[in-house]
Each structure stands twice: as structure tokens, then as C-alpha cells.
Chain A
Amino acid sequence: MNDYFISANDFDAFVSKMASERNVIGPVAKKTKFVYGKIQTNKDLRLDFDVTILPPKKVFTPTCQTLVTFDGSKFEGAVDKQPVVLFGVHFYDIKGLDMTDLLFSENNRDENYMAKRKAATVIGSSVQNVSKRAFWGSVGANVAPKGHDGFITKIGAGYHYQSLTQKGEALVGYGNFKPATEGQAEEARTVNVSMMSKCPEALKHSSEAIAKKVRDSFKNQELWANLSEDCFSCGSCNTTCPTCYCFDVQDKWNLNQVSGMRNRYWDSCLTEDFAKVSLGAGAEENFRETRGERFRHRFMRKAAYLNEKLGGPACVGCGRCSAACTADIADPVNVIKKIMEV
């Protein structure tokens, strides 16, 4: 682990040099918002982003991902091991990646995710602008961001860069980095710590207290029915979430009807058919048929069910769900407040 400093001018040259030699993905502008996209030169990289539409997990598990290609009875895995540098990930999304790393590696290890993830260099970046619905300052305080290879922080005269692994250290070769002074390292720490109190929204209770109350509210059908009254079952709270990892697998045949591919798509437990299962002989059953049951399930998953495994809630406070919900009923801060008040 080494601390470096790079001036603002040298940083631009570093990004362009790195982008010319490596496959770099980072936050780029999309009209009024930001998305993770290909970085060609330093001008593409927008470290002043507030939040991206989709979380960076899409780099490792794309919204539509081919798992297998087939041709008659021959088939081939579509595991992608191409190295990628994911540059510019806010700490809350690093937490999210750490969670999906665990969830995709346990039990049946998911090679399509893990191969891409292992081949990646992930570099965090300080939050320069806070999104309107963020509450990361108050969620999962005990969960430290980890699993990344380096972290870059914008400080007065340029950038402080901390390499955390060999992969993170290797990037230093692309730019005019100098060892950071103690003052620069301290400035970076101060920048990152002071940002923690800048969120417009905040949870008022500990993760443990929330988890207990959410679980205890399981049978309060009226509560869940009320909370989900305006729910469209559109799944936007799932499809923008950095810790959701459910997918649906579908086969596609090419026109020749012999070759084709098996794809997976991000799925979402808020949509009506998610929990519809076959009972055989053409019969089917939906085990979460009502909006309230589906809405409840999301909060159980995010605030309670996975806490033991993940060391904290399966929510990082990015606020994407709050912003994406057109009915504005998905905001965990508002929902948990109501649950805690019951």
C-alpha cells in the first residue's frame, strides 16, 4: 500500500495514457446524468459525477449477458476474462461490489461474473458531488469498503492516490505520480471523512435496530399493503440497486434454428411474475402474488435477511431506488422511518 500525489495536469495525461493502453471503464456523462462507459481520453472521465444510473456491477454482470453459445449439440461457455480497469467508483458502490463478489462466489460459484471480476482493477474515487437522494452517510457504518485495488481522492492541488494491491500499484506507471506528503495524505482523509455528513437524507436508527423491527413487522399485512399502495411493480428499485443480483435465463435461437445463445437478464422481485413457478402439468403458482408481499420481500432482503452474511444491510445508501421510483415510495429512508414508527 503506497500513497501518491499527482497534479491536476499530470492526472489528465495519466488518464489518457492509461486509456490508450488499457480497457478503462469509468463514469461518463449521458445528457444530464452519468453512466459507466468506455474512457477514451481524460475528457471522458467525469469524476465529478454524483451517481450513475446503473451501479458498476453491470461491468461484471451486464444487464444482458451471454452465458453459453451453442451450435447444434456443441456448446461453449462465454466466460469473459478480458482485463478491465474500472476507474472512479464511489465508496458506497465499492461496498456494493464487495457484496456481489461474495454473493456470486459462494455456493455455486458464478464464473461469468467472477472471471470478469478477477480480471478487473477497481479504483475508487472520492465523492465530489452528492446525489439528491443519497443516504450513504448513515447506512451500514460497520461495513468498510473493501475489495478495490486503489482509491483516488481529489484534493486542493491535484489528486491523492492510494494503491492497495499490486494491480492498483501497476497503474502508477502510466502517470507522473510522486510519493504523497503526510499533509496530502491527511488532506485526502479529511476530504473523505467530511463528505460522510453531506447526504441530504439519513437513517435515524442502527442497522441492528432496523433489521429487528423489519423482521418483526413481517406479519403486519396492513403496513405492507399501505406502503406499497402506489407500487407499479415496475422493478426500478431492483434494476438500479447495486446489491440486487437475481437474473432470468432465456434461450435465443439464430434464424437457422440450429445455433444460438443462452442469455441472462437482470430480473427483479418487485415484478408480478418473478415468483411465478411451475407446479407441473401446466399449473403454476405465484408465491408473492400481491404488491405488498413483493414490497415486503425487498425490505426483508435489503434490511434483514442478508445482514449476517454481509456483516450489515444489503443496502449501501446510494439512493438510486429512491430516485428511480416514479411513485416515490421506494426510498428506504422514508419506508424504514414508517416501519420504525409502527
Chain B
Amino acid sequence: MSKPKVAFFDFTCCEGCQIELTNYGDSAFLELLNHIEIVEFREAMTEKADHIDIAFVEGSFSREEDRARLEKIRQRASIVIAYGSCATSGGINAMKNDTNDYKQNVYGKDANMPHLDSQIALPVSAAIKVDYNVHGCPMDKYELLDIVSHLLHGKTPVIPNYPVCVECKRRETICRYDVGDHCMGQVARSGCGAPCPADGIPCEACRGFVDSPNEVALKKVLKEKGKLPERWAERKSKMFTANHRSDAKKLGV
């Protein structure tokens, strides 16, 4: 069997997930190259490919003109994998979805330059069909590898749809609520191995919500048990969950 042709693309993002890829280290990365052929990767090569077996897309969909580029990737690729929070949920770019003065705040007198025009930040799946998501900010390189392994063996990768609480329990982490803190672990998608609560830090849901988060109960528990004020409880970790909430903004609305 010839090696699958793999390509990497980036949209609105910090490219940190590409950096995370290189954090495999030389030996692991070179071993991976024994099993895949990288045919397109803007950061590393100039070649382009007509056909792609697996396209990895990083970054959120935040400009209408990106739609055509995404559609072209979709047409060329057998499998599209969104990787990193920006691509899977809109990521922290979606913070701007609830504001209208971000350009003035960031760019001041240059705020009206045409290339700064953008729409709300959405996951890649808002523009094209996405087959699999590798969540996380940054994405977990081992999870990405696991997904690639499954695809190389013709298996369907399993992306967890259970919350971080499951992984905290597996490693017997003391619950943040038991020490008077708050946490988003009950609604946050797992797969990360729950490193933050284990280090004494509340989960921020950087992988977004599970498919059916109980938002009403979350607000209640954040307020009553986590002692967060009303508005904070309502907006907690919106940075990573803006597009997963029931009040998520829609294009053209």
C-alpha cells in the first residue's frame, strides 16, 4: 500500500498546533514520515497536490473569502480533519463574536483597513464537511497520532464525547469543587487526560463542550458551588465555547 498523502492547511489561528506537531521531536516525527507522505505544508514546502488522502485544517473560518479555499481543500481531500480549537470550535477567535469594537481596540486608527474585515469566527465545519476533529488548544499531538493510526489501519477513530470528569476520576484527581474552587470539567470534552485539575487548575474547556452540555445546570453549579457571580457563571470559558452555547451567533444574523 502506498503511503497516504497528507496535507496541512491553516486559516485564522496562531499556528500553534503546527508547532505542537513539531514537538513530537525528530525521531517520532521521522518515524511518522515512514507511514505518511506530506504533499502540502505551507510552512515547510512550496509544492501543491491534486489529490490528498488526509487534509489537516487548522484555524477558524472567519472570512467569507476563505470559504472557496476550504471548498477546494474539501474537493481534493478524501478525509478532512479539523485540528486545534480554532478549527473545531472557532477557538479563542470566537471571543469577538459577542463584541463589535475589537478592531478599534486592537488596531486603533488603522481599524478600517479593508484586509481587517472579518465575520464571526466559526469552526471549519461551518463551511465544509469535516470528518474528524482533534480538539484542544493546542491540539494534543498524541491524540492526533492516534487518529492517524486508526485511519492508517482502516479503523474509525474514536473522539471522546464524555466530559473531563471521567478522566479526573480515572487518575483520582481531587475535584476542584471539593477544595472550594470551580471547574468546567462536567461539560468540557475530554481526551486531554485532564492535566489541569491534576495540577490544581480548573478546567477551562479548551476542547469545547461535549455534544449535549447541560448549560442550565452548569450555571447553577458554578454559582452555587463554585461561588462565581451571576455574569461570570453565565460567560465562564466562553473563550472556548462561544460556538457551542445555545446563544451562539450565526452567520448573517
Contacts and interface: CB of A to CB of B under 8 A. Distances in A.
Contact of B185 (A233, A234, A253): A234
A33 B174 contact: yes
A17 B125 CA distance: 61
Nearest to A64: B170
Interface of A: 30-33, 35, 53-54, 63-64, 229-236, 239-240, 250-253, 255-257, 260, 265-266, 268, 271-273, 291, 323-324, 326-328
Contacts of A32: 174, 178-179
Contacts of A64: 170
A71 B181 CA distance: 45
Given A231-B214, A327-B221, A30 B162 contact: no
B149 interface: yes
Given A231-B214, A324-B175, A273 B162 contact: yes
Contacts of A240: 169
Interface residues of B, number: 41
Contacts of A53: 169, 172, 174
Contacts of A273: 161-162
Given A230-B217, A272-B212, A236 B165 contact: yes
B212 A30 contact: no
Looking at chain A's contact residues, the main secondary structure is: loop
Contacts of B169: 53-54, 63, 235-236, 239-240, 266, 324
A268 B149 contact: no
Given A31-B174, A53-B174, A235 B165 contact: yes
Given A229-B217, A232-B186, A251-B155, A326 B177 contact: yes
Contacts, number: 109
A327 B161 contact: no
A326 B28 contact: no
A234 to B, nearest CB: 4
Contact of B166 (A30, A271, A323): A271
Contacts of A231: 214, 217
B186 A239 contact: no
B14 interface: no
Given A235-B166, A236-B165, A257-B35, A35 B172 contact: yes
Interface in B163-190: 163, 165-166, 169-172, 174-175, 177-179, 183, 185-187
A233 B212 contact: yes
B165 A255 contact: no
B185 A257 contact: no
Given A64-B170, A239-B170, A326 B187 contact: no
B145 interface: yes
Given A231-B214, A250-B158, A272-B210, 6 more contacts: A31-B174, A232-B217, A232-B218, A266-B169, A271-B161, A326-B186
Contacts of B183: 326
B231 interface: no
Contact of B170 (A260, A266, A323, A326): A266
Nearest to A273: B161
B217 A253 contact: no
A235 B152 contact: no
A146 B146 CA distance: 42
A232 B174 contact: no
Contacts of A236: 165-166, 169
Contacts of B155: 251
Contacts of A327: 186, 217, 220-221
B68 interface: no
B153 interface: yes
